[in-house]
Amino acid sequence: METYSCAQRWTIAPSLAKSYCPIMSDPILVAESKEQIFLLPKMANRHGLIAGATGTGKTVTLQTLAENFSARGVPVFMADVKADLAGLSQPGGNNPKILERAKELKIDNFTGEASPVVFWDVFGEQGHPVRATISEMGPLLLGRLLELNDTQEGVLNIVFKIADENGLLLLDLKDLRSMLQYIADNADKFKTHYGNISAASAGAIQRNLLALESQGADKFFGEPALNLKLVFFFDEAHLLFAGIAPAVGQKIEQMVRLIRSKGVGVYFVSQNPLDIPDVVLGQLGNRVQHALRAFTPRDQKAVKAAAETFRQNPKLKVETVLTQLAVGEALVSMLDESGSPQIVERAKIVPPRSQVGAITADQRKEIIASSIIAGHYEKAIDRESAYEILQARTGEKAQAVGAPPVAASPAAPEGEKPSLLAEALGTATAAFQPTIGPRGGRYDSLATSMVKSAMRAASNSIGRQIARGILGGILGGSGRRR
């Protein structure tokens, strides 16, 4: 999902332009205790955390933040894991709890207002289709998605490098397959040029270097200063970090830190702050902690840990209050002008102006059909890339010796053992299977949600780098291999 600014609305959809039109630097009113608590837009890239037990108001808090960023011209990308964020696209105002909260907080002119939303969906069903090329994905992410072992990952890196150096575009899977075949056929030739890839230790280093290079590590965020500001929300973030290795946590921490210096904010939404690695948690400056349960020893540990992360308020017994917070109430600490966390306050979250919860299939269809990009991404294109070029080359060679042209595509003949890639693809497909949630909801798989979420940023080259980085950094370590 993607939203547009208030000002952009006048040009894109005048009917959506409303009276609530803050400018970018206007502080975002997040919550109220005795005082109003604001998130300062210039501190938005210091990231954030929204935590709390199920049903305590995390998604609604996210929605309030998202619509406020959007209204200020900050594009917001979020994975709508439970499809309950789509309400952002509709004016709210008929939810009694939300109205009651608006009244309680004496919010002036509280009117229902929709945020302009664009839906994206990798499968092109719930939104405009999002495609990423093989090369945008990068070998690291692909390697993880395909669950390759280290040796196989190395081969994949070489494929990317050779393709790059030979100007062979890796756009789709057949490009990748053709390249794999081409390199396998010419293994000896490439061995000399790319070092002795079969000698274990040298090969491992080579591969590591290649991995680093082809991920563009040094140039990663080195493009001209980023002129746009983005905010990513990862709802249900506990899924992201499940079973993660410590090294991976560090990688994410690094990524999160790099992104910050480019004006991009990342907000994790999670049930239990303990599910987020400490190194990452330490990077999340703006915090909204909803109620936690304290039934089990693990719960109690989480409560204690959450309490300790705040700058203490002498008037507040944080640990006790944490278990007593009502729905839509939270312990809130935002960063001040100088970037220091403010003293934690018990406060009520400002309600969103857009509709809370899901939308109907017809509403979604209508939004997709009337979007300014309708029709643009719907049809796949297949331009000349590695596959076509290699196929032509093979054809020329074959004709020279009088044999009929042969396709370079290594599709395994039936009955043969499926190729490594085919096997790996099977595994990758499995990673995309949706799962059934604890309350019977149909959730996207982690991989799908992540790809969906990050690929929404793929509409420009910086967005692509970010998408690649986020995916590489987060998915890159799905501890499953360990």
Ligand X SMILES: Nc1ncnc2c1ncn2[C@@H]1O[C@H](COP(=O)(O)OP(=O)(O)OP(=O)(O)O)[C@@H](O)[C@H]1O
Residues near Mg ion (CB under 5 A) are: 58-59
Could you say which of ligand X, Mg ion, none residue 52 binds, taking C-beta under 5 to 8 angstroms by partner kind? Answer: ligand X
First to last CA, the chain: 33
Helices (H), 72-172: 96-104, 134-145, 150-165
Q: Which stretch binds ligand X (CB under 6 A): 57-65, 188-196, 295-303, 385-393?
A: 57-65
Q: Binding to ligand X by residue 468, rule CB under 6 A?
A: no
Question: How many of the chain's residues bind ligand X (CB under 6 A)?
Answer: 17
Q: Residue from 16, 60, 156, 421 that binds ligand X (CB under 6 A)? A: 60
Minimum separation from the CB atom of position 54 to ligand X (A): 4
Minimum separation from the CB atom of position 241 to ligand X (A): 16
Minimum separation from the CB atom of position 393 to Mg ion (A): 53
DSSP 6-38: HHHHHHH-GGG--S----TTSPEEEEESSSEEE
Q: Write the DSSP symbol of residue 54.
A: T
Q: Binding to ligand X by residue 36, rule CB under 6 A?
A: no
7, exposed or middle or buried, with CB in 10 Å at 0-12, 13-18, 19+? middle
Closer CB to ligand X, residue 97 or residue 193?
Answer: 97
- Give the total residue count for the chain: 482
Could you say which of ligand X, Mg ion, none residue 47 binds, taking C-beta under 5 to 8 angstroms by partner kind? Answer: none
Name residues contacting ligand X, limited to 74-113 (CB under 6 A): 97-98, 101
Residue 180's CB is within 10 A of a number of other CB atoms, namely 18
Minimum separation from the CB atom of position 274 to ligand X (A): 15
Name residues contacting ligand X, limited to 323-352 (CB under 6 A): 327-328, 349, 351
Which position's Cβ is nearest ligand X? 328
- Three-class DSSP category at 321: helix
Nearest to 164 by CA among 192, 134, 186, 143: 134
Residue 204's CB is within 10 A of a number of other CB atoms, namely 14
Q: Binding to ligand X by residue 59, rule CB under 6 A?
A: yes
Which position's Cβ is nearest Mg ion? 59
Could you say which of ligand X, Mg ion, none residue 393 binds, taking C-beta under 5 to 8 angstroms by partner kind? Answer: none
Closer CB to Mg ion, residue 79 or residue 350?
Answer: 79
Q: Binding to ligand X by residue 52, rule CB under 6 A?
A: yes
Please give the structure tokens belonging to residue 194: 């790319």
Q: Residue from 10, 23, 35, 55 that binds ligand X (CB under 6 A)? A: 55
Minimum separation from the CB atom of position 236 to Mg ion (A): 7
CA distances to 91, 209, 213, 341 from 356, rounded to whole Å, are 9, 48, 44, 29
The one-letter amino acid code at 289 reads Q
Minimum separation from the CB atom of position 351 to ligand X (A): 4
Could you say which of Mg ion, ligand X, none residue 322 binds, taking C-beta under 5 to 8 angstroms by partner kind? Answer: none
Task: Please identify which residue in the block is written with the tokens 């719960």.
Answer: 299
Sign of the four-CA dihedral 281, 52, 98, 350: negative
- Return the ∠ at Cα 84 (arms to 288 and 232), rounded to 5°: 50
On whether the CB atoms of residues 15 and 253 are closer than 8 A, the answer is no
Q: What is the CA radius of gyration of the chain?
A: 25
Please give the structure tokens belonging to residue 241: 């970090």
Q: Residue from 56, 90, 135, 206 that binds ligand X (CB under 6 A)? A: 56
Could you say which of ligand X, Mg ion, none residue 292 binds, taking C-beta under 5 to 8 angstroms by partner kind? Answer: none
Give residues with Cβ within 8 angstroms of 452, minimum separation 6.
79, 120, 121, 122, 130, 444
Q: Residue from 11, 36, 54, 261 that binds ligand X (CB under 6 A)? A: 54
Q: Binding to ligand X by residue 189, rule CB under 6 A?
A: no
Minimum separation from the CB atom of position 11 to ligand X (A): 31
Name residues contacting ligand X, limited to 262-281 (CB under 6 A): 271
Name residues contacting ligand X, limited to 287-316 (CB under 6 A): none
Angle in degrees, 0-180, between the axes of helices 134-145 and 173-185, rounded to the nearest 10: 70
Instruction: Give me the residues that bind ligand X (CB under 6 A), please.
Output: 52, 54-60, 97-98, 101, 271, 327-328, 349, 351, 356
